[in-house]
Amino acid sequence: MKIVIPLQTCSSRIKHKNIRPFYEDDSLFDIKAKQILAFEKPENVYVSSENSIVKDLCDKYGFNFMLRDPALCGNEVYQPDLIKALTDPVPGDDDIAWIQVTSPLFNEFVRAIKEWEQVRNQHDSLVAVKRFKGHLLDDKANPVNYAFGYWHKVSQKLPPLYTVLWSLFILKREAVKKFQYHIGVNPYLFVTESMVIDIDYEEDFELAQIVYKKLQG
């Protein structure tokens, strides 16, 4: 298996959020790198960034560095263009794991890979998700997953829904090439019950710091 880590440094909401100190002297990238090295060889890890300073970080862990076109950064880039650019240079025909560093609390990679090996023949991809239990309304106040009045269902009886965590995706190489997306057409849902905080805003960063520090004991 090869691992791809997207690591842009041009975040507009949190400056340098992926490489600034997060816990003690470790950045989000450092934390994820150490998590990955617990189950994978460094030569199988490929890090993509528009900033050449990331190469020094990759050298520290023995990872492969891929310099990214700045046009493939930011929130306006089309995902198929990004995924193709980041996965085409990765050698081999084995599976690809796409791992985000912005979710430091997620560290269930070993269990995910084990489950993937068990279901790989029946699915083209794996996506890490978390169960969502709640009553949803659209922007017109229409119920989405239940009904008003006598048809109301308590949350325990609602159909299960799942939130994509953007922590881990695993895809067969042919699925990556064909769909050029994080998830194939027949994905396996890897469900985690662990607390997960995806860092998108400064408040997320600070909250994740508090929780991560607490979990380190």
For 105-128, how does the pLDDT look when each residue is reduced to its tens digit (9 = 90+)? 999 999 999 999 999 999 999 999
Has residue 151 been placed in a domain? no
Q: pTM to 2 decimals?
A: 0.93
Would you state the pLDDT for residue 36?
Answer: 98
User: Does residue 3 register a pLDDT over 80?
Assistant: yes
Closest Cα to residue 125, out of 81, 193, 174, 192?
174
Would you state the pLDDT for residue 11?
Answer: 75
Mean pLDDT of the chain: 94
Dihedral of alpha carbons 170, 172, 174, 178, sign: negative
For Cα atoms 77, 129, 176, give the angle at the middle one, nearest 5 degrees: 45
**pLDDT grade, residue 65 (50/70/90)?**
very high
Has residue 118 been placed in a domain? yes
| Angle formed by the axes of helices 28-37 and 53-61, nearest 10° | 30
> Maximum Cα–Cα distance for the chain, whole Å?
62
Average pLDDT value for residue range 12-33: 91
Has residue 30 been placed in a domain? yes
The residues pairing with 97 across neighbouring beta strands, listed in sequence order, are: 3, 170
Query: Residue 83 belongs to what domain range?
Result: 2-129+165-216
Would you state the pLDDT for residue 76?
Answer: 85
Number of domains, the chain: 1
Has residue 138 been placed in a domain? no
Lowest mean pLDDT among 36-40, 96-100, 194-198, 206-210: 194-198
Cβ contacts of 57 within 8 Å, gap of 6 or more:
19, 29, 30, 33, 47
Has residue 26 been placed in a domain? yes
Q: Do 7 and 18 form a contact (C-beta atoms < 8 A)?
A: yes
What is d(CA 41, CA 120) in angstroms, rounded to the nearest whole number? 21
Has residue 123 been placed in a domain? yes
Closest Cα to residue 100, out of 77, 117, 83, 120?
83
For 140-191, how does the pLDDT look when each residue is reduced to its tens digit (9 = 90+)? 999 999 999 999 999 889 989 999 999 999 999 999 999 999 999 999 999 9
Average pLDDT value for residue range 80-84: 95
Has residue 148 been placed in a domain? no
The residues pairing with 68 across neighbouring beta strands, listed in sequence order, are: none
Average pLDDT value for residue range 25-44: 97
Has residue 195 been placed in a domain? yes
Q: Which domain CATH number covers 86?
A: 3.90.550.10
